[in-house]
Structure formats: C-alpha cells, structure tokens
Structure 1
Amino acid sequence: MSDTLIELRNIGKRFGGVRALDGVSLAIRPGEIHCLAGENGSGKSTVIKVMSGIYTPEEGEILIDGRPVGRLDPIRAVQHGVQVIYQDFSLFGNLTVAENLALNTYVLEGRRRMDWRRARTMAVEVLARLGVDIDPDAEVGTLPTSGRQVVAIARAILAKARLIIMDEPTTALTRHEVDALFAIVRDLQAQGIAVLFVSHKMREMLEISERLTVFRNGRKVAEGPMSDFDEAAITHAMTGLSLTDDPYRPTLPPGPPLLEVRKLSVPGSVQDIDLSLRPGEIVGISGLIGSGRTELARALFGMEPAMTGTLRLEGREIHPRSVQEAIALGIAYVPEDRLTEGLFLPQSIERNLVVSILERLRRGPFLDTRAVREKTLGMFRDMQIAAPSPETAVGNLSGGNAQRVMLGRWLLTGARVLILNGPTVGVDVGSKATIHRIIRDLAQREGLGVLMISDDVPELVTNCNRIHVMHRGRFVADLDGSGMTEDRINDALKTLN
C-alpha cells in the first residue's frame, strides 16, 4: 500500500496561451492536514480542479493509492474519495439539513423517491460523528456560515470522503468559529481523513497544518513540514518579496473630531454607541458576527432610517437618511461582500469607478467622456490596479484588484469618512499589504477618517490607532496604545462566546 493518498506528478495545464500549471508535483498522505498557499493567480484553483477531475492536465500523471488513474473526471474523483468544499458550499438553501445530506447518496443510488426517515437518521448519525448540535430539520438557508460549512463537511463524510479539500474555509468565520472548525478538522484526521486547506491566512496555516506547499505563477516554489516555516518565510515564498507591516501610529493633528457620534441606536441591533473619528485616524471595530457592527456601518451610511442619536461631521450636525445623502455629505462605505453588494461584475473597471459620480461628469445630457477617462486613469494609477486596461470587466480581476476598484470608486466621490467592512476579505497577502498601504496613505496624506471593521485581529492591530470591541450592539471594550495587542483583543472576544 502506498504511503500517499493522492499524488500529482509534473502536472502541466494551459488555457489558451497561458500556462496555468508548470510541472507541478504535490503529494497528500492519508490523514494529513496539508495547506496549499499562494497569491491569486498562482495556480491553486487549477490544482484543485485537476485533483477533483474538473480539469484534465495536458502533461503529467495523477496517482491514487500509488496507482496511475489515467483520465480523472468528477465522478471518478468522488468514487476515489476526493471531495471539494468551495466557498459557497454548493448547498440548497431551501432544503433542510437532512435533505441536503441525503441528496447525493440518493442520486448515487438511483433513487427516485425520498426516504425521509432514513435521511433524518443519516443526518443525525453524521452530525453526531462530527460532534455538532445542528437541527436536521432546519433549512440550510437559515444557518450561519459556520453551520452551512459543517453541513458541507458532513455531506463529504457521507460520500465516504478520504480527502476533503477546503477552499478558503475561514473567510467568513469568527475566531470562535475557526476554533470549532479546527476541532472538527482534527477529528477528521483522527478518523484517517486527509484535509487540504487552501488559504491566505498565514497564522491559521501555521496553527492547523502539518505540511505546506506554496505556489507562485503556476509553479511549486516551496514545500515541507510546517515547522520549517514562519510568517515571513511564507510571505516571501508566496510573493518573492519581504513584506513588513509596521504598526500605523501617526501623530494626529490637534483639533475637534472629523466625525462625532453620540447615543446612536438602531432598533434591534445597535444601542447607545458613542464614537469619535479624527482626521488621519483609523479606528477599528471587532466583534462576533451579529454583534451589530455591520448595522452600525449601515446607519452611518444612511441605510438604517430608523436610526436615532446625534451625528456631527466637521462640527456640523448631520442626518443621513439615505445613501445619496451620506455620499453628498462625504461618507463612503465599502461593504464586506463586494461581489453581491459592491461591484457590477460584467461591467468595466471604468464604469465601476465612475458610477457614483455620473452626475458630476455630465456635459448637458451627455457624459463628458474625456473627464470620465481622466478620472478613471487617475484612480487606476493611485489604486495600483493591475489590469490590461480600464475596459477590463471587473469580474475578471483578482480579489485584491477588485477591492481596489471599490476603494477607488468611493474616493472619487470626495469622501472624508471612509467605512471599510472587511477590507481584505478573500485578498492574497501581497494585495493585502498594498491595500493597507493605500488606506494608511489616504488617512495620513488626505486626512481621511477611516472606520475599519474586521475579523482579522492582526489587521486591526497593525493598522488602527484605536480599537472598539462590540457585542450585542454595544462597545464592551476600548483598546489603544500599549493595550492594543492581539492577545488583549482575542481575550476580549473569547469572553463574548
């Protein structure tokens, strides 16, 4: 019996004239927790699709249990025990947990009728095996992200998975939920199931993985036991650069706050929030999902008409009751889910950048195309957007470049207050460092006040002057100076679970 579960040898894959994989080799052992890292475009997704039979490589071979498998298609991959859990989980939100779990089994068995009792029994047994308490009769669409992820893992187990590939599994999870996921992963390992993590989050890689493989530009550039790596080594392998991120602690100019919030409340979500934001200051907000942090951001951006309390911008009392009013006042909001809430993916970079200032770019009944292009090219340069041209569709951009388009759009409005909800979610380490530098430069050079909402504790500690921890609609801890450490924030968050 081979000591490898699945092995790729010298895999090559092209798309047109682009070489996506160049002589890539990768081996995963039974019961191993292995991390696959790399920036967007490095070849990670292509490798996943080769391992799961979606893509057929032009070069190299695939071995399972030490034996070449020839052509691997998705059905054969599943039969060999390879299961992929993508970021959207590929679940049916309008079906129950039990129905989602039984569906694949029944399809493989060729059943045409649903055996409800058996489906529920299967669900109870597999969820108990994972040690989780989820109602089998609950609709999947009503579950939190962490719950849907558990259902996807349970479905893979029912399909007799031997290797579960998790694509960015912690992107939308709180630290508490990450801990729970890691407990499940270790339990899977104890059952002999291998797990391949695909992730950008280096600290989580170091915490959970036994081995690491790093891709860059379609090639494997590093591999070995996790004990051989630290954050700096992983960053260098992923980017070819040594990226350092010293804490942002500028001396702020004296004077009144840029934004002052007193007793802000939103029925059912936010209670009596006091907040101040000075020019050039980056203030962080951390908290568990459901703590009210997103509702606070939406209220400041005019999206919660039932909001009460007092807001002052540059000393003047304001009452933003709509997005249009907030934009006119100089407040901008970059939402966490840029794909569904922020960007028009089929449209060009140029159209996405100028969509919020179209009225300012009119010459009579027509758009001033020269002004549109000038604004676009200026922001293209300032945001360091890597794309062939402003005509490129935003849907073709990496996560980091798409996020820069979002930032650029709101900066074109002349915003004075910039609210960032998850500013680097789904962004690779190189783009993350670039986005942080851009945000800091805007705060210091332009005097913007930045409100940064994030689950990424190191991101907050590195970039913020002060941090508020939020729970059940209130600020429950305020940290600054020497007290603003990852341990202090994590300790505060743990007490809220």
Structure 2
Amino acid sequence: MRGIGKTFGGVVALDEVGLELRPGRVHCLAGENGSGKSTLIKIVSGVETADTGEIRIDGQLVSKVTPTQALRAGIQVIYQDFSLFPNLSVAENIVLPAAIAARSWVYRAKRLRPDAERIVSELGLRLDLDAEVGGLSVADRQLTAICRALVQDARVIFMDEPTTALTHTEVERLFALVRRLQERGVALVFVSHKLEEVLEVSQDVTVLRSGRLVATGAAEEFDVVSLTEAMTGRAVDSSRNVIEVDDVKEPLLQVEHLSLEGAFTDISFDLRPGEVLGVTGLLGSGRGEIAEALFGVLKADSGQIRLDGARVKPGSIPAAVGAGFGYVPEDRLTQGLFLDRPISDNIIAGSLWSHTRARLFLSGRRITATVSDLFARLRIKAPNVEAPVRSLSGGNAQRVVLAKWLSTHPRVLVLNGPTVGVDVGSKEEILAILRNVARDGKGVIMISDDVPELVSVCHRVLVIRRGRLVAEVIGDDIEPGHIQEVMAA
C-alpha cells in the first residue's frame, strides 16, 4: 500500500500512508484510537475505497479491492467488533464466509462442519460449535472470530485486537498458531493496545498518528516506552498513583457472603469512600458475574449487599440504580450504548428523571448543562454532542459510557473491563477520570485482568479463582509479578 489517502466528509482519516507486508513476517500496526488503523484495514479488505494511492498484491496493481476479491486473494481480517452473525451457530459463523467466497449457493452442514471442528481442535479451544453466537461471552465470540479467519487458506491476516478478552494461556496458544502460520509463509498484521504482546510477536512495526505515518522499522528498534511516545506524541506515565483513603470512615459498600450457584461462592468485602478496589482473576473465575450481581443483572442466591447501610434488593437493576450504583459493562457496543443515537442522548439515557420539569417534561436547559459539562470534563473528542456514538473511537465511546453513569451521580461505580480495546493514551486519561471520581468521595470497583492498570490505580486488589475470593493484595504487594502469581496459583 503506497500513498493511501482517505477523507470522510472533509475529515482526513489517512494522509499518504504506506504499509508493506512480506510473507512469513508479523507486522505490528500501532496507533491510538482514531489514528487511522481501522480505516487502513478496511481499505485493504475492500470495505472502504481509498481516495488516493495504490495497492499491489504479488506486485500486481489492483485498481479496486472489493470484499470478495480480498477473500479470494487470501486477505482475512479479524475485526475488533467481531462482525459475527448473532443468530447463527459457532460452526456456521466459522465456515460461512469460506463458502461464500467459494460461490457456494447452499450451506451443507455435514460437509462444512469438519472444517470448523479442525480449526477449533488445532487451536486447542473448548467451543460449543452448536451454540448460538448471540449467547456467547465476549471471549468466546472473539475466539469464534479468530477461528473464522483461520479456517481458510489465508495469505494475509489482519488481527485487530485479537487478544483483548483472552487469558494468558489462550494468548500463548494464539501466538503458537501465529508462528505456525509464519512458517507457511503467511503475512500477519497484529493490532493491539497491549504493546508488550505486539512487540513479543512482531518483526516489523508501523506507527500511525492522526492519519499519518510517523514511524516504521524493525520491532527490535522499539520498546513499550518508545512505541507509546510514537503513538501519542508524548511520554505516558503508567506508574502507581493512588489517592489517600481515610480508613476511619465507615464502609460505603458492604458485600456479605454473596453466592450464585455456578458462578461464585461466599464473596465478602467492604468498599470505603474514595477507594478504588480492583477485582481480578482469569476468564471464567467469576469476576464478571460478581460485577453483574452487584448491579442486579444477575440475582445472587444468598448474601447481602448494603450501600450506605441500606440493603439493596438483589437481582434488580432499578433497585441498584436507585440505591446509587452505576455500571460500565464489559461490552460497551451491545450493552452500554445506543450506537446510532447522538452523544447527548447517550449521556442522559440513565438520568432522564433528573432532567425533567415537574417530572413531566424533559428540560432542554438541564440536559444542555449536563451534557456540556460531561462532554468537556471527560474530554470526549467529537465534532459536537450531536455526533452519533457509532462514529467515535473506542476510547471516546468508553468516555460516553462513563459520562452516562456519572450523570446519575452514583455512590459506587462498577466497571467491568474499563479500558478493553482502548489505546494507551486514552487508557491513561480514563484511569485519571476514575481517580477523580474516587477523589470526590465515591467508591470505584474495577474488574480487570490488565494487571498494570490495577497496579496503577487500585488501593486493594481482590483475586478470584474458581468463584472464590482467594486473596486480598494490599500495600507493597500490589505489583504485577505478585498479582499474576496469585492469579495463576
């Protein structure tokens, strides 16, 4: 790809960008959200058409790439949003694109299912091939998308955030497969905000910033610090930074012997005003279910939740919101946002009653005041508050979810994977927002398997294993090596 340019409504998305991929090499494509990475991938896969520049495959100039042409040329993309059919089975999602590329008119399950079984077995995964994708966890949907891309005889594979929801073991399996694909001469492009991972697996690096190519070279020429500075244009401080908490104050939140069969057992902890509490564990440990039980998405079988001393009705989202809970879900795209609605509508979606006159009519003045305040305070990057959320980068979409719940003035804010799929610059800013929320005397519970971000912002870290609270990490023990050791024990 040479001299690639693309504009959307006068906004420059790519400006004279080039990318060269060679057989058997892994290329790291790095950049913050909104840097142009996704646009570049969409152009090479035929989803978008470049305004300027040229694309050559095997040295041959391609005048216009369509999605079907890209598939036939062996170009596969694992998109960040998965792009799966929620109403179809895992097996159907894995093999249907290959059948379409082969111009098959009829789907034959018996003939194509072995292909799905082969790739799942090759990856060493436990996926129910008959399960409907819409009912899968985020991790299993991501694994399904990976299998779909690898089931065909791909020559170029773009992996856009493929490890976001994977455990360490699953990441290692993916990397082992990547190395096997390299041996077969496949060119791979690895896009991830987990910079340690991309540097571990890549041989070449290209960095985009604001739609322009700012750095390119061999991977050994970069480390996490230099790559971060190239992406953001500034030094990013990821050191531990927590505010002081008054231990004398009464607990804001008390969770006592909370249990849900098949998910978690006998979970008890307190949360004090101004405290950021981390909850971590491997996927399937029960950490996400604990968050959903606090917010009433799931109803615990036993135990109590008390907020400001008052018992919260279990299994009721309205009761949780009324008591003072806010919840940022793991999957912001399907659970946290109205993608086609403006930013302003999303921000007030959870606090409509507080923006009415005489509890009858919405007050435009109050709405404008709230939206303008949060739009500026959370530094949401968009042309204006009427821009649809779908047009935002991952980091800015996450800020809109945060703004929605901050508009309700929660006493306790629960966040499940608050920086998943968010670039390193936006991650730093989101963690700063959470510090400010705690500084205002609210409680923050952060569910995450990103150990460095837990170390950066949390006062304490609870470790969940097989549904049980096995350790509370405090003080000098809050460091990456110790937390990872406890998680894996």
TM-score (norm 2): 0.92
1:19 is aligned to 2:12: yes
Q: Partner letter of residue 77 of structure 2? A: V
1:84 is aligned to 2:77: yes
Map 1:170-209 onto structure 2 (within 5 A): 170-209=163-202
1:293 is aligned to 2:287: yes
Distance 2:282 2:173 in 1: 14
Q: 1:430 aligns with which of 425, 428, 433?
A: 425
The answer to whether the Cα contact below 8 Å between 1:353 and 1:405 also exists between their aligned partners in 2 is yes
Structure with greater Cα Rg: 1
Match of 2:483 in 1: 489
Map 1:8-407 onto structure 2 (within 5 A): 8-92=1-85, 95=88, 99-114=92-107, 116-127=109-120, 130-132=122-124, 138-139=130-131, 141=133, 148-253=141-246, 254-319=248-313, 321-364=315-358, 365-407=360-402
Distance 1:251 1:135 in 2: 45
Deviates more, 1:29-38 or 1:249-258: 249-258
The answer to whether the Cα contact below 8 Å between 2:312 and 2:319 also exists between their aligned partners in 1 is no
- How far the C-alpha of 1:72 sits from its partner, in A, is 2.6
The answer to whether the Cα contact below 8 Å between 2:124 and 2:173 also exists between their aligned partners in 1 is no
Give the 3-state SS of the residue equivalent to 2:20 in structure 1: strand
Match of 1:463 in 2: 457
Give the 3-state SS of the residue equivalent to 2:157 in structure 1: strand
Match of 1:474 in 2: 468
Distance 1:303 1:342 in 2: 13
Percent of matched pairs sharing the same residue: 48
Summarize the Cα distance change of 1:95–1:241 in structure 2 as closer, same or farther, 3 Å threshold.
same
Summarize the Cα distance change of 1:175–1:309 in structure 2 as closer, same or farther, 3 Å threshold.
same
The answer to whether the Cα contact below 8 Å between 1:286 and 1:469 also exists between their aligned partners in 2 is yes
The answer to whether the Cα contact below 8 Å between 1:257 and 1:277 also exists between their aligned partners in 2 is yes
The answer to whether the Cα contact below 8 Å between 2:35 and 2:211 also exists between their aligned partners in 1 is yes
Distance 1:223 1:318 in 2: 54
Distance 2:298 2:102 in 1: 50
Q: Partner letter of residue 271 of structure 1? A: T
- Can you list the C-alpha shifts for 1:81-120, whole angstroms capped at 9, x where unaligned? 2111213444445555555454344444444455555424
- How far the C-alpha of 1:220 sits from its partner, in A, is 0.6
Distance 2:402 2:304 in 1: 27
Q: Partner letter of residue 257 of structure 2? A: K
Match of 1:4 in 2: none
Distance 1:210 1:279 in 2: 47
1:451 is aligned to 2:445: yes
Give the 3-state SS of the residue equivalent to 2:298 in structure 1: coil
Give the 3-state SS of the residue equivalent to 2:215 in structure 1: strand
Summarize the Cα distance change of 1:453–1:84 in structure 2 as closer, same or farther, 3 Å threshold.
same
Give the 3-state SS of the residue equivalent to 1:246 in structure 2: coil
Summarize the Cα distance change of 1:326–1:242 in structure 2 as closer, same or farther, 3 Å threshold.
same
- How far the C-alpha of 1:369 sits from its partner, in A, is 1.9
Distance 2:57 2:411 in 1: 57
Over the aligned positions, Cα root-mean-square deviation in angstroms equals: 2.5
Distance 1:136 1:414 in 2: 41
Distance 2:85 2:389 in 1: 28
Distance 2:54 2:299 in 1: 59
The answer to whether the Cα contact below 8 Å between 2:275 and 2:442 also exists between their aligned partners in 1 is yes
Unaligned runs of 5+ in 1: 1-7
Aligned length: 486
Give the 3-state SS of the residue equivalent to 2:19 in structure 1: strand
Deviates more, 1:350-359 or 1:329-338: 350-359
- Can you list the C-alpha shifts for 1:42-72, whole angstroms capped at 9, x where unaligned? 1111111221233332322212223323333
The answer to whether the Cα contact below 8 Å between 1:299 and 1:307 also exists between their aligned partners in 2 is no
Distance 1:137 1:328 in 2: 40
Summarize the Cα distance change of 1:350–1:30 in structure 2 as closer, same or farther, 3 Å threshold.
same
Summarize the Cα distance change of 1:437–1:26 in structure 2 as closer, same or farther, 3 Å threshold.
same
Summarize the Cα distance change of 1:159–1:320 in structure 2 as closer, same or farther, 3 Å threshold.
closer
Q: Partner letter of residue 189 of structure 1? A: Q
Deviates more, 1:243-252 or 1:20-29: 243-252
Match of 1:3 in 2: none
Unaligned runs of 5+ in 2: none
Summarize the Cα distance change of 1:242–1:474 in structure 2 as closer, same or farther, 3 Å threshold.
same
Q: Partner letter of residue 138 of structure 1? A: D
Q: Partner letter of residue 132 of structure 1? A: G
Distance 2:113 2:315 in 1: 47
